C-alpha cells in the first residue's frame, strides 16, 4: 500500500459521546479525567488498504480503533503472511516493549482511529493505575485469544478452521452490532486464508462445501448462517 495521506480532524470531537466510550481503554476514566484525556487523542481517518503502521516502525503512537476493521499481520522475508488478528472498534493497538510495533496494521475499508502520541499518553497513565489496569485487561484478553488461535493454527483441520472463524467473527460482531445470523465479511478471501493458515483456494472450496451442505449461504460481502448448530459441530470445540 502507498504511503497514506491521512485526514486529521483538527478538533471538535468529544470523548463523552464517542462510540467506543464504554468498551475501549477510556472506559476506566471518570468524567473529569475524560475531559483531560480528550486533548491527548486526535481522530485520524484511513481509507481502504492504507497501512496504519508497519512491523518494523518505531512506535510513536497508540491507537484506539473507533470505526472500521483492520488486519494485523506479520510477514516472513519471502512474503508469506500470517494475519495475527483483526482489530475492531474498541481495540487498543500499539503496546510493545521493544519500542517497535511487532506487527503491521492495514485498514480494511474505511477506518477511524483515535491516535495518541506515545509520550503524553505515557505521562497520562503514570498516575492513573485504573487506566493501566484497563490496558492490562485488554492485553490479557488478547493473550487468551492468541492462545486460542494457536490451537486453531496448529491442531485444527481446514473445515474446523473455517467453521471456527465464522463463529468467532460472528461472536465478535455480536458485541458491536447485536445478534445476527448474517455475518458480514469485510476482509478478502486472501485475508481469511492468511488468518487461518490456509490458501485462498482451500478457503473458497470450504465455503462452497458448507454452502452445498446447507450450513451457510454465501452472500455478497459475507455469509448467512443457515444452520448455526451444524457449523458449531464442524468447529469441534
Partner DNA sequence: GGCCAAAATTGATCTGGGTCAACCGCGTTT
Partner DNA sequence: AAACGCGGTTGACCCAGATCAATTTTGGCC
**Which residues sit opposite 104 in a β-bridge?**
73
CB atoms within 10 A of CB 208: 12
DSSP string, 54-101: -TTSBP-EEEEEEEEEEEEEEE-TTS-EEEEEEE-TT-EE---SSSB-
Strand, coil or helix: 152: helix
Residue 135 vs 226, nearer CB to DNA: 226
- How many whole angstroms separate alpha carbon 153 and alpha carbon 150? 5
- The rounded distance, in Å, linking the Cα atoms of 233 and 230 is 5
Instruction: Give the nearer residue to a second copy in terms of CB position, either 38 or 194.
Output: 194
Distance of CA 52 to the CA centre of its chain: 13
**Does 71 sit near a second copy (CB under 8 A)?**
no
Question: Is 149 an interacting residue with respect to a second copy (CB under 8 A)?
Answer: yes
Q: Which is nearer to a second copy, 45 or 165 (CB)?
A: 165
* Pick from 65, 43, 59: nearest CA to 104: 59
DSSP state of 16: G
Closest distance of CB 153 from a second copy, Å: 4
Q: Which is nearer to DNA, 112 or 206 (CB)?
A: 206
Task: Return the residues of window 186-215 that contact DNA according to CB under 7 A.
Answer: 188-190, 197-205, 207-208
Please give the grid coordinates belonging to residue 165: 472463524
* Residue with Cβ nearer DNA (67 or 160): 160
Q: Binding partner of residue 143 among DNA, a second copy, none, CB under 5 to 8 Å per kind?
A: a second copy
**Least Å distance between CB 168 and a second copy?**
14
Judged by the rule CB under 7 A, the positions of this chain that interact with DNA are 157-159, 188-190, 197-205, 207-208, 218, 220-221
Judged by the rule CB under 8 A, the positions of this chain that interact with a second copy are 74, 76-78, 80-82, 84, 95-98, 102-103, 129, 132-133, 135-137, 139-144, 146-151, 153-156, 194, 196-197, 236-237
Amino acid at each position: 500500500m502507498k504511503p497514506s495521506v491521512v485526514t486529521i480532524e483538527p478538533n471538535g470531537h468529544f470523548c463523552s459521546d464517542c462510540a467506543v466510550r464504554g468498551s475501549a481503554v477510556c472506559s476506566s476514566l471518570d468524567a473529569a479525567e475524560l475531559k483531560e484525556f480528550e486533548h491527548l487523542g486526535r481522530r485520524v481517518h484511513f481509507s481502504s488498504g492504507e497501512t496504519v503502521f508497519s512491523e518494523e516502525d518505531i512506535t510513536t503512537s497508540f491507537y484506539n480503533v473507533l470505526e472500521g476493521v483492520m488486519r494485523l499481520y506479520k510477514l516472513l522475508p519471502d512474503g508469506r503472511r500470517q494475519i495475527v488478528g483483526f482489530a475492531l472498534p474498541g481495540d487498543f493497538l500499539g503496546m510493545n516493549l521493544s519500542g517497535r510495533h511487532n506487527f503491521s496494521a492495514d485498514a480494511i475499508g474505511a477506518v477511524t482511529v483515535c491516535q495518541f502520541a506515545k509520550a503524553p499518553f505515557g505521562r497520562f497513565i503514570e498516575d492513573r493505575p485504573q487506566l493501566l489496569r484497563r490496558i492490562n485487561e485488554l492485553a490479557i484478553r488478547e493473550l487468551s485469544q492468541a492462545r486460542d488461535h494457536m490451537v486453531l493454527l496448529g491442531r485444527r483441520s481446514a473445515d474446523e478452521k473455517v467453521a471456527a472463524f465464522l463463529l468467532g467473527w460472528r461472536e465478535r460482531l455480536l458485541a458491536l452490532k447485536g445478534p445476527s445470523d448474517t455475518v458480514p465479511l469485510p476482509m478478502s478471501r486472501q485475508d481469511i486464508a492468511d488468518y487461518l493458515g490456509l490458501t485462498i483456494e482451500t478457503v473458497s472450496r470450504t465455503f462452497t462445501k458448507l454452502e452445498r451442505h446447507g450450513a451457510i449461504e454465501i452472500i455478497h460481502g459475507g455469509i448467512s448462517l443457515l444452520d448455526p448448530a451444524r457449523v458449531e459441530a464442524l468447529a469441534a470445540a
